[in-house]
């Protein structure tokens, strides 16, 4: 909650400037400042394999979600990123307005009927923007060593937009646990994996995506825990 409050206070003035660029720039500066502060606290960040993002077309970035810092860290390295956000974030004052100005896609975090409506509403803007889009396939935070059910929203998004999906593994939760306001010294790694194309079989796609993310995440988590000892 503290990260949200600080971010809102710093970003909100930028929303008074017409257009998306000022709000997105303020969010990016905040994320850069946060990763800088992490480093001062002894937690360094390494984002690996950004080169797998296609140069010729936008992609859907499907990331493991262990910490509130996941989005902060990715945005700090990728300024022009659109994000799919659960509607639980709207309970924080001004957050909804900031997300609207940043042209984020807001969906039902509970995975109900509004999820598809939220995606449908954002598809036109995503198609027109040509920006990479970040989504969390599990729909929310999962503790280190655990996982939630991978939802079909990521498949629907990639399929309709006709974009490749870049799986993302991480061990950030080892060093910045979920919603806690504490850092453990070490090297947090966020790693982009080889692209997966949605194809015609949603179940096969979700299975492949889950296997790629969970397998590499487990390896990174193991290495991260060893570094704490």
Is the CB of residue 51 less than 8 Å from the CB of residue 129? no
Each residue of 63-107: pLDDT tens digit?
Answer: 999 998 898 999 999 888 888 877 777 777 777 778 778 788 877
Are β-strands 105-107 and 165-170 bridged in parallel, bridged antiparallel, or unpaired?
A: unpaired
Pick from 7, 150, 148, 153: nearest CA to 69 = 7
Residue with tokens 């006709």: 162
- Which of helix, strand or coil describes residue 164? coil
- C-alpha to C-alpha distance for 7 and 20, rounded to whole angstroms: 17
Which residues have a Cβ under 8 Å from the Cβ of 134 and sit 6 or more positions away?
Answer: 61, 63, 71, 74, 75, 81, 82, 83, 84
Is the CB of residue 100 less than 8 Å from the CB of residue 90? no
At 98 the pLDDT is: 81
Residues of the chain with pLDDT under 70: 1-7, 108-122, 179-180, 229
Each residue of 186-197: pLDDT tens digit?
Answer: 999 999 999 999
Which runs of E-coded beta strand occur in 76-180? 81-86, 105-107, 132-135, 165-170
Beta sheet of 60-63, edge-to-edge order = 43-48, 186-192, 165-170, 60-63, 132-135, 81-86, 105-107
- C-alpha to C-alpha distance for 35 and 76, rounded to whole angstroms: 7
Distance between terminal CA atoms of the chain?
29
At 36 the pLDDT is: 93
At 79 the pLDDT is: 82
SS3 content of the chain, % helix, strand, coil (to 5): 50, 15, 35
pTM of the model: 0.86
168: tokens are: 């993302």
Is the CB of residue 141 less than 8 Å from the CB of residue 178? yes
At 49 the pLDDT is: 92
């Amino acid at each position: 909650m503290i990260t949200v409050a600080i971010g809102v206070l710093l970003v909100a003035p930028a929303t008074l400037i017409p257009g998306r660029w000022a709000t997105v720039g303020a969010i990016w500066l905040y994320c850069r400042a946060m990763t800088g502060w992490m480093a001062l606290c002894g937690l360094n960040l390494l984002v690996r394999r950004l080169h797998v993002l296609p140069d010729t077309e936008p992609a859907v970035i499907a990331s493991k979600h262990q910490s509130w810092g996941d989005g902060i860290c990715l945005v700090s390295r990728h300024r022009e990123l659109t994000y799919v956000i659960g509607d639980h974030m709207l309970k924080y004052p001004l957050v909804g307005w900031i997300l609207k100005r940043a042209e984020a896609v807001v969906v039902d975090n509970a995975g109900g009927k509004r999820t598809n409506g939220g995606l449908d509403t954002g598809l036109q803007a995503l198609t027109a923007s040509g920006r990479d889009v970040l989504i969390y396939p599990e729909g929310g935070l999962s503790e280190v060593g655990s996982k939630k059910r991978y939802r079909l929203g990521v498949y629907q998004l990639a399929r309709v937009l006709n974009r490749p999906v870049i799986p993302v593994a991480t061990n950030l939760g080892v060093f910045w646990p979920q919603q806690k306001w504490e850092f453990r010294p070490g090297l947090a790694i966020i790693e982009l994996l080889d692209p997966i194309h949605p194809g015609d079989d949603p179940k096969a796609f979700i299975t492949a995506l889950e296997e790629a993310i969970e397998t590499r995440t487990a390896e990174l988590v193991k290495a991260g825990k060893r570094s704490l000892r």
